[in-house]
Structure 1
């Protein structure tokens, strides 16, 4: 689309708004974009884009993968535009493009790396037309927003341009089917010892062949629908992997990647499978961009997962784990619960899963509780569960249904009250599992947990 007076008015207004917000010390990540769209509804179709555009999307992991990619590019001295400090919907991307352009809208950099909200595909992909798109996975998500995996799949499949090269999770039988006629590359993790075709989770969103409807046969299921499968009736099967992790060494904290007939060792930033997949997605993209594996590995050696998402700390002989669990997302919460179960030693777990905004009005749909594997929390290694939030009664009932002993549980509305029930002498580790927008409350819980550890230590020494 050609630029017109309305476009330039929107551009200048958005730029002035962005600068004013910066002077006031406010982020306002979507506000300039909202104003630009109000003045020029087709702004995204008229704005000049960088020469090369990378998009990263998916239900879980897109922020982590985007941050990893950007950290490596920063470490290597690459210049690029990204929306790391902005929103991943249309208004956020417009704000990013406005803030990284000249007064007349010319991009400052030739490369853009955009985290893209999968639900916003119709509003973004036809305009930004990414040269490369990474999809981390497609999972069941919030009922009120993302409905079902096939719905999100259809949005992406319809709006990803035919010219876009895709880097897809080959162990995900849903997202790996995106744009099958495009140039696609697949990443995945080879079967590990002990993995089989047994279903371990409540939710598995693909059980039948998408071609003929026959029940799929699983070579192995890692979790939910992540694994390798084939149809016994037709030729449908998990795709051959272009980037495959052949060995994970959790003691050395490395994994071996095989691609294009080569092998290379990379550091493990976090040992749980979700973050190994995130690392693999980032590495696959970075190799595609032309970076050498040695360069990528050296940069990743300096990384850690954002502490707003996962953090481990040792404090007076105890481990304290802060673990984000995306609210109303049964897959993300199930993974967090299994991570708590699998963490060595005895654990006390504090849950604060209420969606920050829904909790204000107490209207949250709790159906997702029954798609979530709370059963992981009945493990004998979990000695105590402290439940908090406006839905604490509902969570208590769900945990009883999962088979958790009521003697292990306490529940109340406020997380700051729930942590008062913490008994440090009964557990080697404190897990705080919290929703995305509850980080401040989670940090307050952590602080009080440390005080209780010190108090218990003094009592033991008295």
Structure 2
């Protein structure tokens, strides 16, 4: 059935491409014809998987660019089809009818819940894990269940795990992978580190003995320098540790060299650390890394900036409390007058449980410089209620559509921040582009 599976997948993918469409439907067809098709592929190249709650798309794309910069022919699911069907589509589209996948390197972003389907069925050279946070409870379930689904496929894995050494939820994977080579990455203590936190944290207890972990400092959420007072579980020695971190100038050092982070925020530097860990593992030069960072594209909706009449409109995606809190910190640092639009949806891809907004520090927005906040989306009223309960004293409005919300804030002379959940991101972006064109 391998031949038919590959033929059907390649044909349907080609037809969709001619129609200007993509998606995972070809992979669904391929798996229907041969559920074991991934095991039957002939791959003679490094296969790097990237997973985690936040940052996996940016990290995977930069790792793919890293190998390209080093001269490899790379296959990657850059468009973000990170479920099993999407990954099958990517690989079979690049396979010949005998199942041979010709590539110098394969870099795949993988949804956390799909690692159990991908890792055992491909010759994976390295698994990169950024972080684990509570996210989309209705789909991903409690984080403990998600992590266990990955732990269950690790006992037989004998290649490399590249793990965030500042996240106890990630470090615990090493306990279930006795045959793997472990590489840890992370960040040194810096100006943003704190000794206590009120952020939603999931890494509170030792996975080995169950006692509460102690922290020397936090970077954000439960990410930081941790140790268990009752056993030996602690932050490991970091093979790749970014130092001299300057958040204002987006710079850090490693092995005595200075690098520039292409994006904003402390969490982005963890993505850079993961890329550098891969570069070290595959002996790719720092020059290649710097070129990747220098030319990294700004992902749409990730701190994306638009300009109109001398003011900025900045669009950001939020999908869980940890990622949202990092966005709040960036906005909080802006001392200029501003208006804010928050689009909260509860569709399947967003997560139908929106209780996470009460674990997000929207209070960071509630400053005298925030003139107006307009909420919209399928749960716009819930968002407005959250802000009301949070004590926001400025102008607070709820509008039926994104366009109406933008119309409202475009009347103000201030900079504008637009915060949107997953299914609201592209509609919000399209509305911004249209509004900028109309008002420009």
> TM-score by structure 2 length?
0.92
Instruction: Indicate whether 1:269 and 2:288 are aligned.
Output: no
Matches within 5 A, 1:277-356: 277-326=270-319, 329-356=320-347
Query: Partner residue of 1:13?
Result: 8
User: How far apart are 1:426 and its partner, in Å?
Assistant: 5.5
Match 1:378 to one of 366, 370, 383: 366
| Alignment partners' CA distance in 1, 2:92 and 2:192 | 51
Q: Are the structure 2 counterparts of residues 247 and 90 from structure 1 closer, same or farther at C-alpha, using a change threshold of 3 Å?
A: same
Instruction: Indicate whether 1:222 and 2:219 are aligned.
Output: yes
Partner SS for 1:255: strand
Q: Are the structure 2 counterparts of residues 41 and 251 from structure 1 closer, same or farther at C-alpha, using a change threshold of 3 Å?
A: closer
8 A contact 1:195–1:221 mirrored in 2 = yes
8 A contact 1:167–1:185 mirrored in 2 = yes
Instruction: Indicate whether 1:57 and 2:55 are aligned.
Output: no
| Alignment partners' CA distance in 1, 2:366 and 2:143 | 28
| CA-to-aligned-CA distance 1:361-409 (integer Å, 9 cap, x gap) | xx9333222232222222333222110112111111111222222x421
| Alignment partners' CA distance in 2, 1:425 and 1:90 | 46
Matches within 5 A, 1:59-74: 59-74=53-68
User: How far apart are 1:77 and its partner, in Å?
Assistant: 2.9
| Alignment partners' CA distance in 2, 1:238 and 1:358 | 33
| Larger Rg, first or second structure (1 or 2) | 1
| Alignment partners' CA distance in 2, 1:451 and 1:81 | 37
Taking only aligned residues, the RMSD between alpha carbons, in angstroms, comes to 2.3
> TM-score by structure 1 length?
0.88
Runs of at least 5 residues in structure 2 that lack an aligned partner in the other structure: none
User: How far apart are 1:425 and its partner, in Å?
Assistant: 4.5
| CA-to-aligned-CA distance 1:288-334 (integer Å, 9 cap, x gap) | 121111221133222233134331234322122111113xx222222
Matches within 5 A, 1:36-435: 36-85=30-79, 87-160=81-154, 161-180=156-175, 181=178, 182-193=180-191, 195-201=193-199, 203-257=200-254, 262-326=255-319, 329-357=320-348, 364-405=352-393, 407-422=394-409, 425=412, 427=414, 429-435=415-421
Query: Partner residue of 1:460?
Result: none
| CA-to-aligned-CA distance 1:400-445 (integer Å, 9 cap, x gap) | 222222x421112211111222166563x21111122333321244
| Alignment partners' CA distance in 1, 2:189 and 2:101 | 44
| Alignment partners' CA distance in 2, 1:105 and 1:246 | 44
User: How far apart are 1:51 and its partner, in Å?
Assistant: 3.1
User: How far apart are 1:449 and its partner, in Å?
Assistant: 5.3
8 A contact 1:416–1:444 mirrored in 2 = no
8 A contact 1:129–1:164 mirrored in 2 = no
Q: Are the structure 2 counterparts of residues 148 and 343 from structure 1 closer, same or farther at C-alpha, using a change threshold of 3 Å?
A: farther
| CA-to-aligned-CA distance 1:225-249 (integer Å, 9 cap, x gap) | 0111222333221112111111123
Larger deviation, residues 208-217 vs 219-228: 208-217
| Alignment partners' CA distance in 2, 1:330 and 1:250 | 21
User: How far apart are 1:145 and its partner, in Å?
Assistant: 0.9
| Alignment partners' CA distance in 2, 1:148 and 1:58 | 14
Q: Are the structure 2 counterparts of residues 297 and 422 from structure 1 closer, same or farther at C-alpha, using a change threshold of 3 Å?
A: same
| Alignment partners' CA distance in 2, 1:21 and 1:191 | 49
8 A contact 2:4–2:33 mirrored in 1 = yes
Aligned length: 436
User: How far apart are 1:172 and its partner, in Å?
Assistant: 0.8
